[in-house]
Chains A and B, each alone.
Chain A
Amino acid sequence: MGSVYRARDLHFPNVVKLVAVKEMINTAPDPLIRQTIVQNFEREANLLATLSHPSIPRIYDYFSEENRSYLVLEYIHGKDLEAIISEYNGFLTEEQVLTWGIELCDVLSFLHKHKPDPIIFRDMKPSNVMIDHNGDVKLVDFGIAKTFQTGQKGTMIGTEGYSPPEQYRGEATPLADMYALGATLHHALSRRDPRMEPPFSFEERPLQKINPSVSTELNTVITTALQYNPEDRFQTADDMKDSMLAAARKTGILSKVTTTIGQADGIKPLWTFKCEDEIRSTPLYYQNTLFVGCYDNNLYAINAGDGEFQWKYPTEGGIVSKPVAYEDNIYFGSEDHRLHVVGARSGKVVWTYYTDGPVRSSVRIAEGHAFIGSDDQYLHAVNVNSGRAAWKFETADPIRSTPYVANELVYIGNEAGDFLTIDFRGELKWRFRAKRGITSSPTINKQMVVFSSLDGTLYALDHRNGFVIWRFRLGKGSVSSPSVVDNIVFVGAADGFIYAIEAGTAKELWRFRTEHQVSSSPVIYKDSLYCGSVDGYLYCLEYRTGRLRWKFGTEGQIIGSPLVYDDIVYVGSTDHKVYALLA
């Protein structure tokens, strides 16, 4: 509710003397509220007038005009620390932060030793710290000196995230300022804004984990300042300053080399199997056999235990979809326009079904019917016994997404960005339109249907009516199908990240960077996430934290998704090979 102006003091017409004019507009309609505001303003002015310290701006004057009040202050050439943190690319150096921390201890020490009563700053945070053109700190905004009322629903004074526990109870002592300084330095070194986190949660964000270049010495200083119990913190600003000086001397303020994530090289596949062309599809495990479609037009059946070839079934087009097993038959689409059904053991054709375009969507079988999309723009519902169409639904653009069936409805996206819900009679229930194509396959979690789009958005819609419950911005478009486990949505995107998003709130839990697009769909098995990337690696991450467990390099791109069964991960690569790895 206030602005700060850069102004020129015209009492000195022959020189340019700049001042800062802090304006407070009093918009409160209630006269009593207005009066309180003016009183607060005057209190700040009077307090500042009595203080003289290089890190505290000087005050020249104050006045009120109708509903506006003004403070005339020393002009500081510089920027506030919050802006510096957010604009700086990467982490500020330890040396820099230590220097500012030591100066801030100096000014806090000055305030705390003020006579007759110590002054508690109460609102130490990056946006109240200015760094001037010499690189020195100035503490600004002394506006919240105020007493607390107990017994009433407490107004909280200070800034959430930086304030210590006791300040919420209305106790403000010098030790509260020490905590807030610790929080400020933690923010500066970690780039994690504590206002976005629950209060008193610094322990959950260990500094050295986020920014490994922070020395153990400085980390100890900040941890001490952030102790929950005031008696466990530094008891004076001078104590904290001494510890920081010691930390600076000990480390020689040499920033350490950032440690890179641990790589588990030397992972040996249990077996590999080589096809004659690229594998862009996802394998299927069924009765100790791995079924995988290949760009060489064949569906391969491989012994899942040892990778021995069992049979192959030739089609007349590339196979990019995931096969599905149903009643001892394997269902899969091919770019030869057909849905093929072959016996799981024999590899002999049972029936085929023709569409009018390449089939890149995978089959979903429910209620005795196979649902599949085609580039012919139709969603087909095919009776599994007769191999004949029960109905076709036209969508006006190719369908590469795999249908999802639940609640007696079929959910499907198409390349135009339409998301459609069709009932078992082949009638449209509701429709939603994304800005670009929906190649990813939807999944349903509780009451929401989740899918990603090439428009760079992950959508969660009400599965009954298509109302958008939330949207999450991905860095780029996505063809990766989300999976949901533990109320967390996992999805990859063309920006190279694998994302983990909380399903109820659409809040990002973590993201993991790979070196190229992620078209593969993440798979969760036990407490790990498995996902491929176009950079050629299969990644295994801890799914709750996004921490890398291991990665395995192939000689091509991984476009399809991995399959995990019985502690073994199977994945295909454009290097023509299928790999079996220990999960």
Chain B
Amino acid sequence: MDFFRKLFGGEEEVPKEIETATTAPLTEEQIQSILQGPNVQFDLQQLMAASGQSVGKLRELNEDSLLTLTTTLAGNSGSLPFGLYIVADGMGGHQYGEVASNAAVRIVAGYIMRKFQPYLFGLKPSPPDESLQEIMQTAVREAQKTIQSEAPSSGTTLTAALVLGQQVTIAHVGDSRAYHIYDDGRAEVVTRDHSLVKRLEELGHISEKEAENYPHRNVLYRALGQGEILEADVFTVTFPQAGYLMLCSDGLWGVVADQDMFRIIKEAPSLQRACQNLVQAANSAGGPDNISVIIAQLIG
């Protein structure tokens, strides 16, 4: 009944690491102590992110676009970790893929940020009227409209993750990916590739082995800018703790194996270095395509 007395007795229990609540962002020591002790709970949660990008070794043009946006809003009012991470991989060499991927990132991020303006920057913070999933779905529709008028017949993948507290709401079209990478080495793909090869694998027409060497690996059946009806996959997952949320284009996941990605992230001294090393690994493996990667970590 100790526990219960604590809660109903009206006597406030003082957390042992009281000093931890007074700094934002957390100090290096605090971060280390959290990462080492899985059971340490902090009132303050901290979201961190880094990114890396490279044109690769075979392409002349970078048709990938990415965006990271992590807010720290510290003070007495209390606020949730808020982050927005987007990777878009434009399609085709002469079909203006870079126009499409750039438009996708800007339109989607712009729409979402306008919806969250009152919550983040209003003096009386108010959450948006729509649900998180509705906001993501509409943002993708806006981007679809823009791409169809700015660069018709072009297309792009889009994987966008909106982090709010411990929820990650993802909008996804195409074959860029979001991963949950856990500290124990599990790497879980949370998005579903809208690619022909993946679909054939799902249907059992080809095996996983055959899929790896399939000649039309890069053919998509769903892409932003393509088709009159676009249904993005929109879903909500819990932020992987202890672990990482990773977004990347196929320039990374297509050439670097899951276990290598995990090892590189684990060995790197910081998120930024992890991103750089991942990009380097993809280039060392030939760098056949543009490479984009974002890694985010939620601490506390």
Contact = CB atoms under 8 A, between A and B. Distances in A.
A203 to B, nearest CB: 9
Contacts of B10: 425
Contacts of A448: 236
Contacts of A367: 3-4, 7
A552 interface: no
Nearest to B156: A153
A168 B169 contact: no
Contacts of B215: 150
B199 A27 contact: no
A30 B7 contact: no
A154 B149 contact: no
A149 B218 CA distance: 11
Contact of B219 (A169, A196, A228, A369): A169
Interface stretch (A184-192, A213-221, A461-469): A461-469
A164 to B, nearest CB: 11
Interface string B217-235: 0111111001111010111
A507 to B, nearest CB: 9
Contact of A159 (B93, B167, B227): B227
B148 to A, nearest CB: 6
B149 A155 contact: no
Contacts of A506: 133
Contacts of A462: 164-167
Contacts of A155: 91-92, 95, 153-155, 223, 226
A195 interface: yes
A393 to B, nearest CB: 13
B286 interface: no
A128 to B, nearest CB: 11
A195 B229 CA distance: 7
A470 B132 contact: yes
A365 to B, nearest CB: 12
B255 interface: no
Contacts of A471: 131, 134
Contacts of B293: none
Interface string B119-152: 0000000010011111000000000000011111
Contacts of A446: 238
B80 A465 contact: yes
A59 to B, nearest CB: 22
A152 B290 CA distance: 12
- Select the residue from A196, A199, A381, A408 with max chain B CB neighbours within 10 A: A199
B221 A168 contact: yes
Most chain A CB neighbours (cut-off 10 Å) among B8, B218, B223: B8
A468 B4 contact: no
A269 interface: no
B7 A424 contact: yes
Interface in B235-253: 235-238
Counting chain B CB atoms within 10 Å of each CB, the highest count among A37, A168, A391, A423 belongs to: A168
Contacts of B1: 368
Given A367-B7, A469-B131, A506-B133, A154 B236 contact: no
Given A368-B1, A467-B127, A33 B152 contact: yes
A455 interface: no
B150 to A, nearest CB: 6
Nearest to A171: B216
A199 B199 contact: yes
Interface in B1-59: 1, 3-4, 7-8, 10
Interface string A200-212: 1000000000000
Interface residues of B, number: 60
Contact of A30 (B99, B216, B220): B99
B199 A390 contact: no
A147 to B, nearest CB: 12
Nearest to B12: A425
B236 A168 contact: no
B235 A467 contact: no
A198 interface: yes
Interface in A434-477: 446-448, 460, 462, 464-471
A165 interface: yes
B196 A168 contact: yes
Q: Indicate the size class of the contact surface on chain A.
A: 35 or more
A504 B237 contact: yes
Contacts of B3: 367
Contacts of B228: 159
Contacts of A466: 127
Contacts of B237: 504
A27 B150 contact: yes
Contacts of A149: 92-93
Given A1-B149, A30-B96, A467-B167, A505 B222 contact: no
B7 A160 contact: no
B99 to A, nearest CB: 7
A426 to B, nearest CB: 9
B97 A153 contact: yes
Contacts of A159: 227-228
Contacts of B196: 154, 165, 168-169
Contact of B235 (A37, A198, A504): A504
A33 B89 contact: no
Contact of B8 (A196, A424, A465): A424
A252 interface: no
B263 interface: no
Interface string A126-141: 0000000000000000
A349 interface: no
Nearest to B91: A153
B203 interface: yes
A83 interface: no
Nearest to B1: A368
Contacts of A468: 127, 130-132
B114 interface: no
Interface of B: 1, 3-4, 7-8, 10, 80, 89-93, 95-97, 99, 127, 130-134, 148-155, 164-167, 169, 196, 199-200, 202-203, 205, 215-216, 218-223, 226-229, 231, 233-238
Shortest Cβ-Cβ A-B pairs, 9 listed:
A154-B219, A424-B7, A468-B131, A153-B91, A470-B133, A504-B235, A27-B149, A168-B196, A505-B235
Given A37-B153, A155-B226, A468-B127, 13 more contacts: A27-B150, A40-B153, A152-B218, A155-B153, A155-B154, A156-B226, A160-B221, A165-B205, A228-B203, A369-B4, A381-B8, A447-B236, A462-B164
30 contacts: A1-B149, A28-B149, A33-B99, A33-B152, A151-B218, A152-B95, A153-B218, A154-B196, A155-B153, A155-B154, A156-B220, A156-B221, A156-B226, A160-B226, A165-B205, A195-B229, A198-B199, A199-B221, A228-B203, A368-B1, A381-B8, A425-B8, A446-B238, A447-B167, A447-B238, A460-B236, A466-B127, A467-B167, A469-B132, A504-B235
Interface of A: 1, 27-30, 32-33, 36-37, 40, 149-156, 159-160, 165, 168-170, 195-196, 198-200, 228, 367-369, 381, 390-391, 408, 423-425, 446-448, 460, 462, 464-471, 504-506
